[in-house]
Structure 1
């Protein structure tokens, strides 16, 4: 019969002991590894995880073995590890719930601005819309919830990437390409990085006929959201004018700040 060494036993005991937060340390470590995998693009090696987390390889190997057995991580033929398929269902459910929490705030945006309000997340290299409340105008914008678009041609994409390091933005754009949705779409990394600088300077992002001719969108990120999120309003360029922008942006920023508080309290509960 195989026996466990004293060092194995002490490692197991340390992994399952209560964490400083009052939770279970092994659970905290497992979720931390999943988030580090997501930050690394979804696929990593054990040595990379050890270097970034500071955990010893045996501990990481044991945690990853458990995550593989439960389907939350998959081991690739090259022996690297990738995020597993069971996370998809969790992510889809969480996105729907996030959209549900956001809807009252988007409804306020519609009431106060008159334009369609949206909420979007950065999922990998793409923008995904998770909630929308339509304008009451007969001429209004509509984006299907669940729709995925590339970041470079959207206001929410600019808002979400504004604080991302330039080299990471360039790498993302290299992966996605920068196809022109309209003649006004930004199609060079330099142009997009300049637009991100504008977002940091002004505190909001603009899609000026870049995704669809005749449509302007204004967007801001949701500060301290547990996952990168942005809200926006979109409407005909004839209504979302420069003068309207001056009135709408403070409303967007206020609603984003209030939504941030709700998401943070939900995240911590």
Structure 2
């Protein structure tokens, strides 16, 4: 018996027919690249041998066939993740850069967590800054909708004479470094309360006692008062600071003392996180 003829497809029929979306190949999301897995196992195993390991030893410990291990090891050496010396394999510069990057991220996380606790305890945004390569560098800010950070309307690096962060860092430098900074970033008026010139600023920071908080009131931004606590890690000048709206200026001395107390309690771990 002849089968009934199938209707011929036409462009009009094709456009009218509902389209079924293409399905991705099964288990695409779970596809793993075996060579990458094996290379990572080799890297981890080499890291466990600070005095180096041979290819045969690495193959045995990772469960890889020796030819496969040799091939991956040569590739990792070529890319700089391993280096070979007298038949032994060691971690290379590329792997060490990854390690140092991870350590830096961990340090930043430690500092950010610490600042966040202080922000919640004091009820004010908290800032961490460092003086390095001749510049003021604000590295981390912990704020919240209820206590927003000061808007950087004028570059913090160029206006260190006007804010507590900059004045605190400058107070930790020697006279030559202070003068060098002011020669590159001269004092200028930002508000009616800003210190008028570099000589006045130098006299002010010279009077700051060792490890005493530095405060400023509306010198950087109208409507804002700030305090900064010095932290010296080796020869590096650092500071942790807070800001408050001007209508809470009466809180500034007690908030500065509380911040100083918190810094003192965490000085060891904070200094370690900064210096590693």
TM-score class, shorter-chain normalisation, is 0.5 to 0.7
Q: Does 1:185 align with 2:194?
A: yes
After superposition, the Cα gap between the structure-2 partners of 1:267 and 1:110, relative to the gap in structure 1 and judged at 3 Å, is: closer
| CA–CA separation in structure 2 for the residues paired with 1:107 and 1:120 | 15
SS of the residue 1:199 aligns to: coil
SS of the residue 1:153 aligns to: coil
Counterpart of 1:106 in structure 2 is 115
Q: CA deviation at 1:246?
A: 2.8
Q: Does 1:211 align with 2:220?
A: yes
SS of the residue 1:222 aligns to: strand
| CA–CA separation in structure 2 for the residues paired with 1:227 and 1:95 | 17
- Is residue 218–residue 249 contact of structure 1 (8 Å, CA) maintained in 2? yes
| CA–CA separation in structure 2 for the residues paired with 1:141 and 1:267 | 22
Q: Does 1:140 align with 2:136?
A: no
Q: 2:251 aligns with which of 239, 244, 248?
A: 244
Query: What's the TM-score once normalised by structure 2's chain length?
Result: 0.54
* Structure 1 runs not aligned, ≥5 long: 1-90
- Is residue 163–residue 200 contact of structure 1 (8 Å, CA) maintained in 2? no
SS of the residue 2:256 aligns to: helix
CA displacement, residues 66-115 of structure 1 (integer Å, 9 cap, x when unaligned): xxxxxxxxxxxxxxxxxxxxxxxxx9998765432212221222122211
| CA–CA separation in structure 1 for the residues paired with 2:222 and 2:180 | 28
- Is residue 226–residue 263 contact of structure 1 (8 Å, CA) maintained in 2? no
After superposition, the Cα gap between the structure-2 partners of 1:124 and 1:94, relative to the gap in structure 1 and judged at 3 Å, is: farther
CA displacement, residues 229-263 of structure 1 (integer Å, 9 cap, x when unaligned): 11111121111x2x312321222112222443014
- Is residue 111–residue 273 contact of structure 2 (8 Å, CA) maintained in 1? no
Q: Does 1:118 align with 2:137?
A: no
Counterpart of 1:168 in structure 2 is 177
Query: What's the TM-score once normalised by structure 1's chain length?
Result: 0.56
Q: CA deviation at 1:202?
A: 8.0
| CA–CA separation in structure 2 for the residues paired with 1:245 and 1:170 | 29
After superposition, the Cα gap between the structure-2 partners of 1:175 and 1:193, relative to the gap in structure 1 and judged at 3 Å, is: same
| CA–CA separation in structure 1 for the residues paired with 2:261 and 2:144 | 19
- Is residue 170–residue 178 contact of structure 2 (8 Å, CA) maintained in 1? yes
Q: CA deviation at 1:184?
A: 1.8
